[in-house]
């Protein structure tokens, strides 16, 4: 398996035996013996070969995957090829054990079936898909809110300019039903809401949009 993988990977990379021997730090003759199966590289040199080709050392040494009788090269790191499965008359397939073990699939695991007109079908763990979908929706929702916030002035319906509302040095933004006195703890004011926290020697800011004509500022906190 190792010698066939070495030959195939070198051919795919478009390298000569001299090229690979130079990378590993051996003579061309010594390397040629590996491809002929006369000798095998030690663990250190296998590691160098795997790193050079971008595959795992395990796949370099052990992979013997064939597709319709044709041998396939070891897959790049993080990629896998477990052969061909057959769909039965009920549309079912058996996922190879190596694949189930790699991705932690057990009885009852939920999979999302995805498809691409050009790339074909893919299976993704439902929990992983739902997590990524939630993250994407959260980002999209935030982008939409920001876009809406800074698009139109509610008074004149003109486009607002995006920027930052910022405090004086050492300041912070708050909201209350009434402005508390200078010597009053602002947090005790009725309806107090902290918008930004106080940071010593730091100018706090929040994203905002302004309509200079109507003297309106809108922001989220």
pLDDT at 21 (0 to 100): 93
pLDDT tens string 40-72: 899 999 999 999 999 888 888 876 666 666 777
Identify each DSSP E strand in the chain by its residue range. Answer: 66-67, 70-71, 111-116, 120-125, 161-166, 174-175, 193-194, 205-211, 216-219
Q: How high is the pLDDT of residue 176?
A: 76
- Encode pLDDT of 190-219 as tens digits: 877 777 776 666 667 777 888 888 888 887
pLDDT, tens digit, 9 for 90 and up, residues 113-134: 999 999 899 999 999 999 988 8
How many CA atoms are closer than 13 Å to the CA of 156, on its beta-carbon side? 11
Is the predicted pLDDT of residue 19 greater than 80, yes or no?
A: yes
What DSSP character marks residue 159?
A: B
- CA dihedral (30, 34, 39, 42) positive or negative: positive
Q: Mind listing the pLDDT tens digit for each residue in 79-102? A: 887 878 899 999 999 999 989 998
The predicted structure's pLDDT at residue 117: 92
Which pair of tokens denotes residue 20? 């690979």
List the domain boundaries for the chain: 2-71, 150-219
Between residues 173 and 152, which one has the greater pLDDT?
152
**Domain 2-71 grouped into CATH 1.10.260.40:** yes
Enter the pTM of the model.
0.47
Give phi and psi for 29, each to the nearest 5: -65, -40
Contact 119, 125 (CB under 8 A): no
* CA dist., res. 136 & res. 118, Å (int): 23
Question: Sign of torsion, CA 101 107 110 114?
Answer: positive
175: β partners: 193
More confident position, 189 or 167 = 189
Report in angstroms the alpha-carbon separations of 165 from 15, 95, 196, 216, 220. 59, 55, 11, 12, 10
**Residue 19: is it exposed, middle or buried by C-beta count within 10 angstroms (0-12/13-18/19+)?**
middle
């Amino acid at each position: 398996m190792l010698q066939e993988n070495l030959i195939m990977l070198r051919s795919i990379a478009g390298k000569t035996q001299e090229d690979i021997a130079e990378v590993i730090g051996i003579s061309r003759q010594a390397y040629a013996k590996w491809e002929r199966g006369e000798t095998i590289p030690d663990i250190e040199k296998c590691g160098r070969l795997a790193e050079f080709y971008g595959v795992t050392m395990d796949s370099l040494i052990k992979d013997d995957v064939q597709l319709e009788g044709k041998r396939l090269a070891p897959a790049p790191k993080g990629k896998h090829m477990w052969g061909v499965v057959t769909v039965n008359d009920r549309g079912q397939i058996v996922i190879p054990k190596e694949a189930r073990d790699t991705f932690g699939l057990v009885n009852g695991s939920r999979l999302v079936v995805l498809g691409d007109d050009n790339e074909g079908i893919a299976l993704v763990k439902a929990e992983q898909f739902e997590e990524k979908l939630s993250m994407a929706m959260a980002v999209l929702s935030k982008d939409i809110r920001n876009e809406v916030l800074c698009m139109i002035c509610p008074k004149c319906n003109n486009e607002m300019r995006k920027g930052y509302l910022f405090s004086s040095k050492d300041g912070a933004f708050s909201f209350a039903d009434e402005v508390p006195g200078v010597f009053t703890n602002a947090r005790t004011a009725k309806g107090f809401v902290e918008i930004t926290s106080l940071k010593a020697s730091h100018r706090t800011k929040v994203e905002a949009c302004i309509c200079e004509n109507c003297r309106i500022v809108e922001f989220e906190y």
